[in-house]
Chain A
Amino acid sequence: MANTTISEHSVAGQLSRPASLALVLPLVLLLGLAFLLPVANLLMGSIFTPAPTAEHYLRIAQEPIFLRILLRTVQTATIVTLLAFLLGYPLALVMSRLSGRAAMLVAACVLIPLWTSVLVRSYAWIVLLQRTGIVNNTLLNWGLISQPLKLIYTEGAVIVAMTHVLMPYMILPIFSSLRSIAPELDRAARNLGAGHWTSFLAVTLPLSLPGVYAGAIMVFILSLGFYVTPALVGGPQNLTIATLIGQQTTDLLNWPFAGALAGVLLLVTLGLVGVFRRFLRFGKGA
């Protein structure tokens, strides 16, 4: 009885095409003018300045320093992704087994860094790692070192700070993957004679892999193009592709070359997204 009315109206209830188009028009204009157009302009500049040329792209491939920077960027992103996984997975596992107040508290501890400005967190790492910073002072006070170590403006500082900044992006998808595993599966495995460790390796870990992939891809992509943290915590010796793009734009005013570097970064990023699209989930919420 009600069936006919609903099926009739589910077509009628749909917005007409002109109305739908009118509603998305502001969005399309915004993304067209403030996103597609500027990015296209940047990429065109890298190909057509001064005349149609591949020189800016060839320069990246031919000068060893640029290849080194690209390689270092990929290497840093890989290490950051691995560290975020190794540190984040156990925390996500513990989180997934909590309930009630404890679960809320731990979730808040993971979400607070995510919603604190990257600048504030990078500044905190400078405070911790500088010559007279907390880490050096503590080590000196304990007599573990006799002279302050050079911690800040190094590759290590960039890796540690970036791992800290990006880790929530690893933890949250793993957590939601782990949460969706029925607890009976682990219990069943153990009733069938598997130890905790075996049950984890054979049941929990494989079932949580989609979350691991999602987190890993997200962290890897974000760290490839990360600007703020390497610019503040890294030294002039630790240029990454993002800080190199910034330097070419603001200091050297070589926009076509900056455009070529941006093109390479964009290509790699979109390529990774295209290949791993099915694992990705978006949003900053839990």
Chain B
Amino acid sequence: MSTLLETSSERTSQSASPSNPAFSPAIGRWLLNGFASFVLVFLLLPTLIVIPMSLGHASYIQFPPQGLTLKWYRAYFDSADWMSATWFSLRIALATTASATVIGTLASFAVVRGNLPGIRALQALTLAPLIVPHIVLAVALYLVFAPLGLTGNFVGFAIAHTMLSVPYVMLTVSAALQRIDPALELAALNCGASRAQAFWHVVLPNIAPGVAAGAVFAFLASFDEATVAFFISGVEGKTITRKLFEDIDYNLTPIIAAASTVMIVVSLALMGGVEWLRSRSENSGS
């Protein structure tokens, strides 16, 4: 049916535009698809090029890479500096995920279902960390953290990254809350459940995919965060992004490519998880 419609409209348009023979639909579509493919390559290639770069033998960046080796990965995993930066980042990201998810989920519930004064101001404030340039936040946090000994410090990072990540949790959890029927919760309340019981047994299971997606976004927003981390890192306590930043600036070895590949794998695995959650919740629900 739809193909029939399309062929008939195709015919109509061809016969109707003799004034414009240079722009035949076929050539136009061919040009458009070609250009779009070129843009896709432009988007993807520079992102993924570090993967082959991390596998070559030469100790400088060479393309195409010669030989195939995992020695840069061994160097990365054997380096005390790289390992301590990686673990520091992972610990911060996990703490950030936990605190941002809890704080963000509770607040989203209050915003969507609650009775709050100044809700518009609160919503604007919640999104502000996404808008305000990270360089401004980086310098601002550095000036407050330095005298308190919170630079290069796990707690300092957890606070800063929770602030940067909580908007992502609020966005995904609020969206999930708006999708579920408030009647479900009312039914639980009518049956004698307390507010907390209704939240725990009825609301939370229904918004779980949204909460999980928010948690993944929070993890990645912390793990990949570079600007604030650059300014509030210390000589000892530095994140993998700060370490990458320093080495890219002073010491371009293929270990950077190996570390970058590790970061790409972490990001893609987590994003794949979110996609999986989303497709599952779309297939099962509404």
Contacts and interface: CB of A to CB of B under 8 A. Distances in A.
Interface of A: 6, 9-10, 12-17, 19-21, 23-24, 26-28, 30-31, 33-39, 41-42, 45, 87-88, 90-91, 93-95, 106, 109-113, 115-128, 130, 132-134, 137, 164, 167-168, 187, 190-191, 193-199, 221, 224-228, 232, 242, 245-246, 249-250, 255, 258-259, 262, 265-266, 269-270, 273, 282-285
A282 B170 CA distance: 11
Contact of A20 (B40, B116, B125, B217): B116
B61 A190 contact: no
B115 A242 contact: no
Interface in B1-55: 5-6, 9, 12-13, 16-17, 20, 23, 25, 28, 32-33, 35-36, 39-40, 42-44, 46-50, 53
A88 B43 CA distance: 10
Interface in B240-259: 241, 244-245, 248-249, 252, 256-257
Contacts of A194: 13, 16-17
Given A27-B166, A232-B245, A34 B47 contact: no
5 contacts: A10-B186, A13-B189, A14-B113, A95-B36, A117-B267
Contact of B144 (A41, A126, A130, A199): A41
Interface of B: 5-6, 9, 12-13, 16-17, 20, 23, 25, 28, 32-33, 35-36, 39-40, 42-44, 46-50, 53, 60-61, 63, 102-104, 106-107, 109-111, 113-117, 122, 125-144, 159-160, 162-163, 166-168, 170-172, 182-183, 185-186, 189-190, 195, 213, 217, 220, 223-224, 226-227, 230-231, 241, 244-245, 248-249, 252, 256-257, 260, 263-264, 267-268, 270-271, 274
Looking at chain B's contact residues, is the secondary structure mostly helix, strand, loop, or mixed?
helix
A242 B23 contact: no
A43 B274 CA distance: 39
Given A14-B113, A27-B126, A221 B135 contact: no
Nearest to A161: B46
B40 A284 contact: no
A6 B224 contact: no
A105 B231 CA distance: 37
A233 to B, nearest CB: 10
Contact of A31 (B50, B126, B139, B185): B126
A42 B231 contact: no
Contacts of A115: 220, 224, 267-268, 270-271
A269 B133 contact: yes
A137 B61 CA distance: 11
Contacts of B104: 27
A127 B61 contact: yes
Given A17-B115, A119-B248, A249 B142 contact: yes
